[in-house]
A and B are shown apart, each in its own frame.
Chain A
Amino acid sequence: MLSIRNLHATVDGRPILKGLSLEIAAGEVHAIMGPNGSGKSTLSYVLAGRDGYEITAGEVVFKGRDLLELEPEERAGEGVFLALQYPVEIPGISNLTFLKAALNAIRSYRGEAPLDAMAFLKLSREKARLLEMDDKLLQRAVNVGFSGGEKKRNEIFQMAMLEPALAILDETDSGLDIDALKIVSAGVNRLRAPDRAILMITHYQRLLSDIVPDRVHVLADGRIVASGGKELALELEQKGYAGLGIKDNAAAA
C-alpha cells in the first residue's frame, strides 16, 4: 500500500531524512522507534504534506500514486490520516462542525454524496462511544480546553470517523496516562482492518504491548537502521539504542 524509497528531505536546508526506505502492506501495523532528532516527526509530516519540508530525493508511492505530488487535502481524500503529536486548538469551530466539513470534503473527493445531518450525528455518536468520548467534547471548540489525553483521544476519534486507508500515529501515546492509553489502544485495535495500514511512531515500548505491531523499525539519523518483529521493541527497551550501537542524537548534542 505504501512504498517509501530512498527518501531524502531537508528542513531549512538541513538534511533530516537521508535515504529512508519502508514498505507497508494493507492490513499491517508498523511501528517506528528512534531517538530524538532521528526524523520520526519529519517523516510523518512529509507523508501528510505539511509545508516546510523539501524532498531532495526519493519517492513515496501510495496505492500506486505519487503521494508527494498531492496537496494535504488530496492525500486525505486518498486515505492518508495523520494523528498529530500536538493536536491543534481551534477556537470558534466546534469539533462536530470541523469533522462534518472534513468528512464531507473527503466524500466529495471520492465522488460520494455528503452525509446529511442525521446520518452524520448517528455516525459520530457511534464512533464517540468507541473512544468513550463525552458528547460535550463533540460540541466544544476543537481541542480547546481539552486535557492532553482528551486531545489524543480526539485524534483517534477523527481517525474512526474518517476511516483512512493509512493512519500515521505520531507519538499518540505521549502524554497519556495508563487509563487513557488503554482506551486509545483499544480504539486503534478496533480500527485494525485488512484494507487499512497503520504506522505508529513512538518512543516507548509500552504502546506496543497494547497495539501489537507486525513490524518494528528503528529510525536513526534519517534512515531505517534495523527492522524486525515485535521482539525488536523489547530488545530496544532492554538494551537502549546504544545497546544496538545507535547514537542518540539528542543525548550526543
Chain B
Amino acid sequence: MARLDDSAGHYRALYDTAKAGLPGLGLDWLERLRAEAIERFAATGFPTARTEAWKYTNLQRLARTTARLAPAGRVDAARLAPWTLGDEAARLVFVNGRHDPELSRLPALPAGIEVTTLGRTLDADGDSLRDRLGRQVALDERRLAALNTAFMTDGIVLRLRAGVTVPGPIHVFHIATGDAAPFMVPPRNLILAEAGSAATVVESFVDAGGGAYWTNAVTEIAVGANADIRHVRVQAEGREAHHVGLVEVRVERAGCYRALLLSTGALVARNEYHVILDGEGAEAEIDGASLLDGRRHADATTVIEHRKPHGRSRQVFKNVVDETARAVFQGRVLVAVDAQKTNAHQLSRSLLLAPGAQADAKPELQIFADDVKCSHGSTVGALDATALFYLRSRGIDAPTARALLIEAFVTELIEDWPTGAVRDHIGAVLRSALRREPGGTGPAA
C-alpha cells in the first residue's frame, strides 16, 4: 500500500548528506551497520496504527515532518541545576545529542570503571565497540532503532569490569534546545556490565526550549552474571516534542536489571523496554509512572522474555492522567519452554483525573513452560471519592486531599528503593510533576 508520507525517502536523503559527518568514519563494520540500518528503516518507514505494537500510539504527524539532524546547541548550566543529583559519580551532558564537556563532570573513577562518550570512542578507538555496538538491536523488527543506528552520534559508553561497583550514580543528561524548525536527536548509549559489577545509571531527557524536535534514543545494556544494574529514565520533554526511546537489555545468569521510568510524556512519547532474561535465575524489575496533563501522550511498552529457568520479573506501572492526556501501557511477558520455575508479575494502574483523560492497558502473557507463576492485573479508575471525603472530614481541604492521594498513588512505586540521592531525586521529580510546574523548569531542589 502506498504510504502517505515520504519519510523513507526523506531520511535516506538526510543520511546520504550527513554520513560523512558522523563519528567513526572509515570504520568498515560501522559503515555497513549504518547502511543496513537506513535500508531497514527505508523499507518500511514509520510504524502505523496497522502494526499491532503501535495501535495506541500514532506517529503519523512525526512521519510527515521533514526533520533535519539536530543542530549544535548551548544551554546555560543553571538550566541543569534543578535536575542535578547529589552524589554523582559522573555527569555526562549531551546537548542536542552532542557531548558538552563544559557542562559534564567526569572525576577519576576507581579502576575497572570506564566512562566515555560514543562519539569520541568511535573516532579514537572504534574497533573496541565492533562486536558490541548494535548487537542487541534487531534492525528488522525495530525500525526506529534502525533509524537511530544509521544516525547515532553520541551518548554514553559505560564499561564495567568484573566485580566493580560504581560509587554513586552516573547521570546522563540529554537536553534539547533550539529554534522552531523540527530536528531529530539520536542518542545512543551502551552499558556493558561484566560479571558481578554494579551501577546505577540515571538518564534524563529534558527539554530546554527545543520546540518540535524529536528524540529517537536507543540504550543497549548487557548485564553479566550476578551483575546488578539500576537504570532510571526521567523523560520530561516539551509539549511539542516527540520521544521514541528503546532500551534493549540482556541479562545473564543471576544478574539483575532494575528500571524505573518517570515520564511526563510529550506530544507523543513512547518508552519501550525489551529485556531478555538469558541466564538461569536472571531478574528484571521495571516500574514506571506516567504523569500527564494537557494533551500529552505517553506510551510505556515492555517485552520481557524469560528464556532460562528460575527467572523472576516484576512490573508495576502507574499512570496519573488529567485533562485530555492519554497513557498507554503495553506489557508482554514471554516464557519460553525451557524457562521453568519462572515467576512473572505485572500490574498497571491508572488514575483518571478528568472526563477527557484516557488510559489503555494491554497485558499479554505468552507462556510455553508448564511450571511457572505468572500474573497480571490492570485497573483504571477515578480518585476514590470515599478516601477524598475521609481526608476532608479530617480538615484537609479538597485540593490538598487530592494532591496527597495522587502523590500516595505514585510514590508507592519508590517505597522499595534504597534511600539516598537517587531516591530523593525521583521523589522530587514526581512531586514536581504532580504540582504541575511548567515543563522544563525541573523539580524543586
From B386, B392, B411, give the contact of A72 (CB < 8 A): B392
B72 within 8 A of A: no
A102 within 8 A of B: yes
B398 within 8 A of A: yes
User: Which A residue's beta carbon lies closest to that of B397?
Assistant: A73
1/0 per position for A28-62, CB-CB distance to B under 8 A? 00000000000000000000111100000000000
From A51, A141, A158, give the contact of B394 (CB < 8 A): A158
B164 within 8 A of A: no
1/0 per position for A64-103, CB-CB distance to B under 8 A? 0000000111011100011010011011110000110111
Q: Could you count the A-B residue pairs with CB atoms below 8 Å apart for me: how many are there?
A: 79
Contacts A51-B385, A73-B392, A82-B393 given: A92-B398 contact, CB under 8 Å?
no
CA distance A99 to B391 in the complex (A): 9
CA distance A88 to B412 in the complex (A): 17
From B385, B400, B411, give the contact of A101 (CB < 8 A): B400
Interface size on B (CB < 8 Å)?
25
Instruction: Provide the main secondary structure of the chain B interface.
Output: helix
From A51, A92, A102, give the contact of B396 (CB < 8 A): A102
CA distance A226 to B407 in the complex (A): 47
Q: Which residues of B contact A99 (CB under 8 A)?
A: 394
Q: Which one of B385, B387, B395, B396 has the highest number of Cβ atoms from chain A below 10 Å of its Cβ?
A: B395
CA distance A101 to B386 in the complex (A): 18
Q: Which residues of B contact A91 (CB under 8 A)?
A: 408-409, 412
Minimum CB–CB distance from A174 to chain B (whole Å) comes to 17
B368 within 8 A of A: no
From A87, A88, A90, A106, give the contact of B395 (CB < 8 A): A106
Within 8 A of B (CB), among A4-37: none
CA distance A103 to B391 in the complex (A): 11
B404 within 8 A of A: yes
Is B395 touching A105 in the complex (CB atoms < 8 A)? Answer: yes
Q: Which residues of A contact B396 (CB under 8 A)?
A: 73, 101-102, 105
1/0 per position for A92-128, CB-CB distance to B under 8 A? 1100001101110110010000000000000000000
B389 within 8 A of A: yes
CA distance A120 to B389 in the complex (A): 24
Q: Which residues of A contact B400 (CB under 8 A)?
A: 101, 105
From B385, B398, B405, give the contact of A73 (CB < 8 A): B398
User: Which A residue's beta carbon lies closest to that of B404?
Assistant: A93
Is B387 touching A90 in the complex (CB atoms < 8 A)? Answer: yes
A162 within 8 A of B: yes
Q: Which one of A75, A99, A101, A106 has the highest number of Cβ atoms from chain B below 10 Å of its Cβ?
A: A101
Minimum CB–CB distance from A112 to chain B (whole Å) comes to 12
Q: Which residues of B contact A73 (CB under 8 A)?
A: 392-393, 395-398, 401
Q: Which residues of B contact A49 (CB under 8 A)?
A: 392-393
CA distance A20 to B397 in the complex (A): 29
From A77, A92, A103, A158, give the contact of B408 (CB < 8 A): A92
User: Which B residue's beta carbon lies closest to that of A103?
Assistant: B395
CA distance A87 to B407 in the complex (A): 20
Minimum CB–CB distance from B67 to chain A (whole Å) comes to 41
Q: Which one of B392, B398, B405, B412 has the highest number of Cβ atoms from chain A below 10 Å of its Cβ?
A: B392
Is B385 touching A88 in the complex (CB atoms < 8 A)? Answer: no
1/0 per position for B400-444, CB-CB distance to A under 8 A? 110011011111100100000000000000000000000000000
Q: Which residues of A contact B415 (CB under 8 A)?
A: 92
CA distance A99 to B387 in the complex (A): 14
Q: Which residues of B contact A50 (CB under 8 A)?
A: 389, 393
Q: Which residues of A contact B412 (CB under 8 A)?
A: 91-92
Minimum CB–CB distance from B417 to chain A (whole Å) comes to 14
B29 within 8 A of A: no
Is B408 touching A72 in the complex (CB atoms < 8 A)? Answer: no
CA distance A108 to B82 in the complex (A): 31
Is A72 touching B389 in the complex (CB atoms < 8 A)? Answer: yes
Is A102 touching B395 in the complex (CB atoms < 8 A)? Answer: yes
Is B395 touching A71 in the complex (CB atoms < 8 A)? Answer: no
CA distance A73 to B391 in the complex (A): 8
CA distance A245 to B385 in the complex (A): 38
CA distance A90 to B409 in the complex (A): 9
Q: Which one of A49, A71, A84, A105 has the highest number of Cβ atoms from chain B below 10 Å of its Cβ?
A: A105
Hey, which bits of chain A sit against chain B, CB under 8 A?
A: 48-51, 71-73, 75-77, 81-82, 84, 87-88, 90-93, 98-99, 101-103, 105-106, 109, 141, 158, 162
Hey, which bits of chain B sit against chain A, CB under 8 A?
A: 384-387, 389-398, 400-401, 404-405, 407-412, 415
